[in-house]
């Protein structure tokens, strides 16, 4: 199966604008005060946030499929249904909507082993939660996604 061009059905003219090109174009237009540092930070965020999360999600999905052969068999049947014996054709976006069981596998894997297991926030000004409670400036809040996902 060739995954090189997931959007292989798109012609070059219709190709979407690349994030970096878009940022540089807006910088050249002088809008929004975009600095070189801002562009570097954005690209770093996308590269890191995009790479690490997907690598971890794929690793845990493959691990869970290896540990659950019955589920692996169901997924195999779905792949056979969508791709038949053609292992060389490009995957295109219309395939994705047919790969329902694959989506369920990813979602279950992300539920058990979320790539971003917690979120952190720091309050930058006092926040009135209700009549009695004010959360003070500087308070840090930690939301445990990995824990929440395992609650009944
Ligand atoms: C399984 C895949 C992914 C998961 C589970 C995931 C999860 C998350 C979560 C939970 C956040 C919020 C973090 C927070 O608010 O503290 C986040 C933010 C972000 N993600 Fe992902 N992500 C995934 C894939 C990607 C990919 C592929 C990209 C880019 C190519 C990406 C780019 C970003 C960026 C740029 C932010 C920050 C957005 C902002 O500025 O608020 N993520 N992601």
The model's pLDDT over 31-56, given as tens digits with 9 standing for 90+, comes to 789 999 999 999 888 888 889 999 99
pLDDT at 2 over 50: no
Q: Is 146 in the pocket of ligand 1 (CB under 6 A)?
A: no
**Ligand 1 centre and the CA of 53: distance in Å?**
8
Nearest Cα to 68, choosing from 3, 115, 112, 98? 112
CA–CA separation, 56 and 36 (whole Å): 30
pLDDT at 85: 86
Q: What phi and psi, each to the nearest 5 degrees, are found at residue 72?
A: -60, -40
Mean pLDDT value of segment 72-99? 93
Helix (H, G, I), strand (E, B) or coil at 62: helix
Ligand 1: distance of its center to the CA of 118 in Å?
A: 12
Q: Whose CA is nearest to atom 33 of ligand 1?
A: 49
Give the span between the Cα atoms of 22 and 34, in whole angstroms.
11
SS3 122: strand
Give the whole-angstrom CA distance, residue 107 versus residue 98: 15
| Secondary structure (3-state) at 99 | coil
**CB of 62 shorter than 6 A to ligand 1:** no
Q: Which of 16-20, 54-58, 76-80, 94-98 has the lowest mean pLDDT?
A: 16-20
Distance CA 25, CA 35 (A): 12
Q: What angle do CA 58, 61, 10 make, to 5 degrees?
A: 45
Q: Indicate the pTM of the whole model.
A: 0.78
Ligand 1 lined by 56 (C-beta under 6 Å)? no
Q: Is residue 16's pLDDT more than 60? A: yes
């Amino acid at each position: 199966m060739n995954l090189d061009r997931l959007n292989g059905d798109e012609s070059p003219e219709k190709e979407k604008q690349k994030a970096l090109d878009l940022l540089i174009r807006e910088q050249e237009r002088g809008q929004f005060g975009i600095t070189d540092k801002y562009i570097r930070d954005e690209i770093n965020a996308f590269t890191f946030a995009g790479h690490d999360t997907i690598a971890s999600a794929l690793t845990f999905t493959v691990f869970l499929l290896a540990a659950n052969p019955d589920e692996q068999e169901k997924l195999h049947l779905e792949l056979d249904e969508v791709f038949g014996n053609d292992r060389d054709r490009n995957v295109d976006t219309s395939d994705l909507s047919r790969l329902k069981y694959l989506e369920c596998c990813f979602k279950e894997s992300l539920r058990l082993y979320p790539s971003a297991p917690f979120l952190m926030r720091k309050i930058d000004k006092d926040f009135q939660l209700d009549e009695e409670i004010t959360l003070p400036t500087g308070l840090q809040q930690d939301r445990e996604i990995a824990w929440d996902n395992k609650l009944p």
